[in-house]
Amino acid sequence: MSTNLLRIGCGAGFAGDRWDAAVPVVEALAAAGGPAVLMFETLAERTLALAQLRRRQQPDAGWEPTLDRFVRPVLARCVAAGIPIVGNFGAANPVGAAAVVQGLARELGLGPLRVAVVEGDDLLATLTPDQWAEVLPAGLRGRELVSANAYLGAQEIAAALRAGAQVVVTGRVADPALALGPLIAHFGWAEDDWDRLAAGTMVGHLLECGAQVTGGYFADPGVKDVPDLARVGFPIAEVAADGRCVITKPAGTGGCVTRRTVIEQLLYEIHDPAAYLTPDVVADLTLAEVHEEAADRVALSGVRGHARPPTLKATLCHEGGWLAEGEISYDGAGAAARARLGGDVVAERVRLLGLPVQALRRDLIGVASVFADDAGRWVAPAAQEAEDVRLRVAGATPDRASAEALAREVMALYTCGPAGGGGVRTSVTPRLASDSCYVPRAWLRPGWRFVP
Amino acid sequence: MTRIALHELAHARTGDKGNRSCISLIAYDPAHWPLLVAQVTEARVAELFAHRRPTTVRRYLLPRLQAMNFVLDDVLDGGVNGALNLDAHGKALSSLLLTLVVDPADVAGPPP
């Protein structure tokens, strides 16, 4: 193929993704021979707040703890083939993550690498009290924030790659920037070349959730069949200088790339398709076209762009009390009625004990659960006589002790509840609540630097 | 004529941002696109999701892709960090949308 293509592979679409997924992607990129980049997306809304909590306890922590598991299988091959790695696994501590990458490189005999970090997303370290007063949502005034991070764009990633970075570690950046940065570096797109920036943003958007564009989150047996899902191949985009791309996947892997898988991912979480807001550009899909070129090769074209927004979105996390959960199974005749009674008993016990439960939810798994809202306002059309039912009780409490007291009430259904209940599991978890705000660009000074 | 569930005519995917759910709906066969436009309206989707008390339901059409995006505000009990739902993201809500019943005889397509 022409060298005027950049191939971008994706090795992870979230922190919980498969550790071995990147291996065939890197093999395919290396075999193709042209310029290529590998990206990892491992930073969900909540992941960063959890990382910030870890960093509070241990100042050199706060990066994605599974970073080593994602990068170890492919680092030597990427270095040998000249494939830079771009990942947001820096989370709350990109410099700490860079140190992990350097340590791994030494261990693998690769010597020190040119590892760059992108910084400047942390608003807690940046904004003045006056600025906070201007942007903080009313409901968060007076609360202590655990984390506050703006979504940075692609320019710092691009600058680091142009300077020769072999690995770029970021904290919070817009997920598509992990691909757009390498495209800007490779093709030299201008900061106001809105159509190309939008096209590159949608390349990143298609890649950022990993297998979600290659047959993951898609299979529906008998309706949407996906071959060999256990070996689903992660995506590779072949991007041309004008921003048009072909989505494909490594030969010999499972899954599929079709018009259907690509359209599902193209529309995923974008809200208004005429105005998909990112830090780098406002992307417009109203004239976008998706064509199957060949088996497992689907082209996207026609993406247009408009000037980027004047503000950057930021996610704010604060402590959100505790979540208590308990489950118990009922089977056979009358199972649904017994499960319902068990839920009623727990609710009554909460009242009798005066537990400070702020919200209590009951699910009858097998009858009605995830379609319902927390108030239980959903009536399953059938299944009222289901005979294999799991009661789940979930409650929000202000503190750990009351969460444990609530979980204990589910446990007590063993002997004090309806007949034949079994298989109790309980857990209590601290919660982080999140909100968002928009910050003027000029308040932030994003930057990048090499970390030895 | 037989009324059928959307599941037979279209596929869907749910995403979320905060307390907002974003559900795509994509026709398997371009010939069914006019039927989806005519029958899978904001009003009918709002009715299907009424128990989740959406404050707004918006539909965005992408005729070139025979696809539409529904954006439902305030339907996730606070979203992934606030809801008590096992599926706090609302990932399953695409399957709820596909239970909507349509009547293929009602709109065969635009007149030639």
Residue A308 has pLDDT above 70, yes or no: yes
Phi and psi, residue B28, nearest 5°: -65, -45
Q: Pick left, alpha or beta for residue A430 (phi over 0 → left; psi -120 to 50 → alpha; otherwise beta).
A: beta
Q: Nearest to residue B95, comparing CAs of B24, B34, B17?
A: B24
Closest partner CB to B87 (pick from A224, A370, A432): A370
Q: What is the CATH number of domain A316-436?
A: 3.30.70.100
CA atoms within 13 A on the CB side of A232: 27
pLDDT digits (tens, 9 = 90+) for A235-245: 999 999 999 99
pLDDT (average), residues A299-313: 97
Is B12 inside any structural domain?
yes
Q: Report the alpha-carbon distance of residue A440 to residue B13 in Å, rounded.
A: 33
* pLDDT tens for each residue of A142-153: 888 999 999 999
β-strand partners of A122: A149
Q: Which residues of A touch B69 (CB under 8 A)?
A: 267, 270-273
Cα radius of gyration (chain B): 14
Interface test with A, best of B23, B65, B75 (most A CBs within 10 A): B65
Phi and psi, residue A260, nearest 5°: -70, -45
The two structure tokens encoding residue A364: 């009858």
Residues spanned by the domain of B19 = 4-102
ipTM of predicted assembly, 2 dp: 0.94
Chain B: give the shortest CA distance to residue A112, in Å: 39
- Residue A26: phi and psi, rounded to 5, are -65, -40
* Structure confidence by residue, pLDDT tens digits, B9-63: 999 999 999 899 999 999 999 999 999 999 999 999 999 999 999 999 999 999 9
Render pLDDT for B49-62 as a digit per residue (tens, 0 to 9).
Answer: 999 999 999 999 99
The residues facing A365 across adjacent strands are: A390
Closest CA to A245 of A328, A284, A302, A295: A302
Between strands A304-306 and A289-294, the pairing is unpaired
Q: Is A259 exposed, middle or buried (0-12, 13-18, 19+ CB in 10 A)?
A: middle
Domain ranges of chain A: 5-124+151-309, 316-436
Given B7, B28, B92, which is nearest A370 (Cβ)? B92
Q: Which two tokens stand for residue A421?
A: 């209940």
pLDDT above 70: residue B1:
no
B-contacting residues of A 375-414, CB under 8 Å?
A: 377-378, 392, 394-396
C-beta atoms surrounding A30 within 10 Å = 16
> pLDDT confidence of A381, banded at 50, 70, 90?
low
Q: Is residue B112 included in any domain, yes or no? A: no
Rounded CA separation A369/A383 (Å): 12
Q: How confident is the model at residue A344 (pLDDT cuts 50, 70, 90)?
A: very high
Residue A285 DSSP SS3:
coil
Is there a domain that residue B109 lies in? no
Q: Do A270 and B69 touch (CB under 8 A)?
A: yes
Residue A28 — pLDDT band, cuts 50, 70, 90? very high
Q: What is the structure's pLDDT at A1?
A: 40
**Are the C-beta atoms of residues A322 and A402 closer than 8 Å to each other?**
yes
Question: Chains A and B: how many Cβ contacts under 8 Å?
Answer: 119
Task: Give the CATH number for residue B97.
Answer: 3.30.70
Report the C-alpha gap between A331 and A321 in whole angstroms. Answer: 34
Look up residue A4 and give its DSSP letter: S
Contact criterion met (CB < 8 Å) for A223 and B77: no
Q: What is the mean pLDDT of residues A250-265?
A: 98
pLDDT digits (tens, 9 = 90+) for A388-435: 999 999 999 999 999 999 999 999 999 999 999 999 999 999 998 889
Q: In terms of DSSP bridges, do strands A36-40 and A5-12 run parallel, antiparallel, or are they unpaired?
A: parallel
pTM for the predicted model, two decimal places: 0.95
- For residue A3, give how far its alpha carbon lies from the nearest alpha carbon of chain B (Å): 31
Q: Is residue B30 part of a domain?
A: yes
State the pLDDT confidence band at A376, using cuts at 50, 70 and 90.
Answer: confident
CB-CB under 8 Å, B11 with A220: yes
Q: How far apart are CA A400 and CA A356, in angstroms?
A: 11
Does A80 have pLDDT greater than 90? yes
Q: How far is CA A62 from the centre of its chain?
A: 17
- Tell me the per-residue pLDDT of B64-86, one tens digit each, with 9 for 90 and over: 999 999 999 999 998 888 899 99
What's the total number of domains in chain B?
1
Task: Please provide the DSSP assignment of A381-435 as one string.
Answer: SS-TT-SEEEEEEEEEESSHHHHHHHHHHHHTHHHHSSTT-EEEEEEEEEEEEEE
Quote the pLDDT of residue B104: 87
- How many Å apart are CA B40 and CA A92, to the nearest integer? 43
- For A89-132, the pLDDT digits (tens) are 999 999 999 999 999 999 999 989 999 999 999 999 999 999 99
**Of B16, B62, B82, which is closest to A273 when you measure between CB atoms?**
B62
Distance CA A439, CA A435 (A): 13
- Would you state the pLDDT for residue A380? 56
A148: nearest Cα among A121, A175, A118: A121
**What one-character-per-residue DSSP string does chain B give?**
---EEGGGTEEEEEEEETTEEEEEEEESSGGGHHHHHHHS-HHHHHHHTGGG--S-EEEEEEGGGTEEEEEEET-STT-TTT--SSSTT-TTHHHHHTT-EE-TTT---S--
Show which of residues 236-265 on chain A sit within 8 Å of chain B, judged by CB atoms: 260, 263-265
